[in-house]
Amino acid sequence: MLDNTKKKLNSKCDVNAIKIGNNLRKYGNRHQVAQNIKIWMQPTMKIWRTTSKSRSKAKQSEEDWEQNDESERLKLGKERQHVGRSDSTIRAGWWSGWPICGNNILCTPTCSPSYALQPEDPPIKQRQSIRSSDILSSLVGDLKVPDRKNAADSPDAVAGFADLHRRCQQLPEEWTVFQISKCYTPRWNSLTHQEMLRERTCVEFILLKYPNSELLDGKPLMIRLEPPKESDFFAVLSSIPVEVKSFLEEEVNSGSRRQDEIESHIAGIIDRLVTWLGPWVVLFSGKFTSPRDQQLEAEIFNRVEDFCITNKRSKRDQLLMSLLARRLDLVDLKAIYRFCCEMAADEHKLKGMFDFLAGLKESKFDVVFNSSCFPCLMVVDELVDSYPWEMMNTGQEFCRFGSVRLLMQLVETHRDKIKNGYLRVPALKCHSIINPDNNLAKMSVRLQAFYKEWYQDFKLTIDSPPTDSEFGTILRETDVMIYNGHGTGLQFIDGETILQQDIKSLIFLFGCDSVRLFASGLFRDMAGSHLYYNIAKCPTVVGALWALTDYFTDYYSILLVGQWIPTQNPKFREHSVFDLDSSAFKHGTLQITKKTQSKLGDENLLALMAQFRRRNWLPKRIRCAMVCRGLPVINSAF
């Protein structure tokens, strides 16, 4: 079996660097810091090891910076209104006024309007004073932090790491939490935002809460993937929103039908992403919910443990093998062989590990494995946020966050309502805003027909935007707000007004790019409408990562809402929303076809979204675009 698999591979797989962030040592003197400490840097919570090589690159970047014309430097400094990744590592003097306690170093949110730092342009002399071979010493000096010998509140990577560990342990046991981020490179000093999106760098998966984590005392685990050989890999993956919008605009302007081309483009990107991840696609899987699956996992865990004891493998190896073995149904033999290449030191050990894992796959996953899992909570870096991560495991429940800190804040705000891993929201008082721009006549007719009959108790705002006062009342007093129209709805209400609200509603934004992150300048951090809602304590925002088409968006919206919130109309009480005639709905009427075998509904919102990702009759441009930003939710009034 091993020989056959080898023949399928063109060459031995590259060995990815797998690092476990559980050996942070306390600060020594300043001379030792640069070589001995992993620093959890703001704003994307990356682990960055300072070496003599990286210090020389950093110093060279500073020298190149100083050689630029002074006027150009001032111009560039004004454009950098937000401190980017390059500034956070190299130009430490720009951090003046940045909170430096352990919590903020670990958990500061990315691209959040409420938290983004907007420093004044530093003077040229101040920038020159930053040039130092010891970056951490410069950082501490510029921030005027007292020496560790004289103060207990100075920056401490060990204390910050311990705080992150403690906070992760307090999250619900049912959750799997991990962060995806591109690795920092000194080249970012000279790159614009769009260039950073295309830059070929490693990608880090930092597991904060994950299955079998007790093997490492529950400490975070980092797995680093090297970029693929294709030079355009990240450029293509980052292009989805732009390409989809271009396709749709050309279709509208020229009347061409390019749906098949769009579908093929997105399908190709998903295939490339899965191929690149290889065995690590198993990271996109939560903890099992059913006793049957849990029993199978326990049996596999014991088999892996016996193998590791017999072959004298470490606890780290046992953990990584168990993460793969519990979801061998998601990978093929080629991915298993790649994993073994990364783990085994010689040919004999490689063969033994491959035979063991391949045998497990054949004996335990020989039939279709339909598992039910608790949610995966992904903290996604802005540079990889437009990727269709949810399609890596279409049966899994996913939700996204912009930062660890935002995740922690939402959990603390709504902790009393979180039971068994889900936020329980009674979807009783609901308000739907339909066509507020009053220029989508067909959509207005369709959705009015649906909501006026299916949900007779819903409050509706039709063909006109709500005032600021009305919008604030909706956010504070209703359980669910549904927006169907252009964009995000922020064209009718100021973001500052949203931030002043104490939002109660769960929010659906069925508009183009409604939860997409945008960069408003060459060097700005990215921001999105959902961040305003989340910062104002909104637990969950459902929306689209890119542009959508009219009819399919309307149809997706009534399917999702209709399955999650039961109708109170006796006429439809025994029917599922799937029983509606889709052709009649397209023309603005509600008709029931013969009763289907579809389930009448589901209280679990993320489970419904996962179910729709597997519906092949829905276009991929719709299935991949719709994501959840916030906490996993259950309708407690179901």
List pLDDT tens digits, range 54-104.
Answer: 334 444 444 443 444 334 433 433 333 333 332 222 222 222 222 222 222
Mean pLDDT along residues 546-553: 87
Q: Is the pLDDT of residue 586 over 70?
A: yes
> How much is the pLDDT for 519?
79
List pLDDT tens digits, range 383-425.
Answer: 999 999 999 999 999 999 999 999 999 999 999 999 999 999 9
List pLDDT tens digits, range 235-272.
Answer: 999 988 888 888 877 776 655 567 788 888 899 999 99
List pLDDT tens digits, range 13-48.
Answer: 333 333 323 332 223 332 232 233 233 333 333 333
Spell 384-400 as b/e; 16+ CB within 10 A means b: bbbbbbbbbbbbbbbbb
What are the domain boundaries of the chain? 158-364, 421-635
**For residue 116, which of 532, 544, 430, 456 has the smallest C-alpha distance?**
532
> How much is the pLDDT for 355?
95
Query: What fold characterizes domain 421-635?
Result: Rossmann fold (3.40.50)
List pLDDT tens digits, range 572-584.
Answer: 888 889 889 989 9
List pLDDT tens digits, range 491-509.
Answer: 888 888 888 888 989 999 9
| Residue 282 to residues 331, 376, 393, Cα–Cα distance (Å) | 8, 12, 8
pLDDT band at 304 (very low <50, low <70, confident <90, very high): very high
CB 455 within 8 A of CB 567: yes
> How much is the pLDDT for 75?
40
The DSSP call for residue 327 is: T
Cis peptide before 43 (omega within 30 of 0): yes
Rg of the chain over all Cα atoms, to the nearest angstrom: 26
CA–CA separation, 438 and 143 (whole Å): 52
Output the average pLDDT for the chain: 77
Q: What is the dihedral of CA 393, 399, 402, 403, to 10 degrees?
A: -90
Could you tell me which residues are beta bridge partners of residue 484? 434, 510
Higher pLDDT, 375 or 8: 375
Residue type, 40: W
> How much is the pLDDT for 319?
94
> How much is the pLDDT for 624?
92
> How much is the pLDDT for 137?
39
